[in-house]
Amino acid sequence: MKLSDLKDLLGRHPESNLRIFLPGGGEIQADFHVTEVGHVAKRFIDCGGTLHSREACVLQVWLARNDGEHRLKAGKLASILGLAKPILPHGDLDVEVEYEDGVVSQYPITSFEVGTGELRFGLESKHTDCLAREACGLESACC
C-alpha cells in the first residue's frame, strides 16, 4: 500500500478502529500504539554489482500490554502521519509495519478492507532473493 492511499483511506474513515493481521493469520492486539513513523532509504549493491535503492514509510507498532482500553482510531493515525510530513518525501512510498513478536520484523501492508467501524489491514512477509541470478549462474526464474 502506498502512503498516499493510506492517508486517503484514514481521512475517509477517521472514526474507524484499526486492525492489523499478520501473514500467518494472527492479529496484532487491538491496543497497539504507533510509536514511530520513519522514512527508510536503502541503497545497496547486489552480488552482480548492480546498484539498487528502495524507500519505505515504516510504522513501528508497539504493545504497552497494560492499556486494554486503548484503541487507535484512523483519524489519530492520520494526525501522526501529519506530524511526520517533514520527513516523508512523497506519497508514493510503500508502507510497512514494524512489529516485534519474538523478533523485530517489517511487513508490507498488502491489503485492506473497510468494515463496519473498522479498517482491517493485511500484512505480508518479506523474503530474501538473489537479484543477480544470471551473474551467479542461477536460473533466471525461481521455482
- Give the model confidence (pLDDT) of 27-71 as tens digits: 999 999 999 999 999 999 999 999 999 999 999 999 977 776 788
pLDDT band for 140, please (50, 70, 90 cuts).
Answer: low
- In angstroms, rounded to a whole number, what is the distance separating the alpha carbons of residues 70 and 30? 8
- In angstroms, rounded to a whole number, what is the distance separating the alpha carbons of residues 19 and 120? 5
**Exposed/middle/buried for residue 141 (C-beta within 10 Å: 0-12, 13-18, 19+):** exposed
* 77, amino acid identity: L
Phi-psi region of 25 (alpha: psi -120 to 50; beta: other; left: phi over 0): left
pTM score, whole prediction: 0.91
pLDDT band for 4, please (50, 70, 90 cuts).
Answer: very high
Whats the size of the chain, residue-wise? Answer: 143
Residue 143 has pLDDT above 70, yes or no: no
Residue-wise pLDDT tens digits, 76-126: 999 999 999 999 999 999 999 999 988 999 999 999 999 999 999 999 999
For residues 116 and 140, the model is more confident at 116
Q: What is the pLDDT of residue 90?
A: 96
Give the strand pairing for 118-123 and 17-21.
parallel
Name residue, grid cell 536503502: 42
- Across residues 7-32, what is the average pLDDT? 96
Q: How many alpha carbons fall within 13 Å on the CB side of residue 106?
A: 14
- Chain-wide mean pLDDT for the chain? 93
Q: Which ranges of the chain would DSSP assign to H, the alpha helix?
A: 3-12, 74-83, 133-136
Q: What is the pLDDT of residue 142?
A: 52
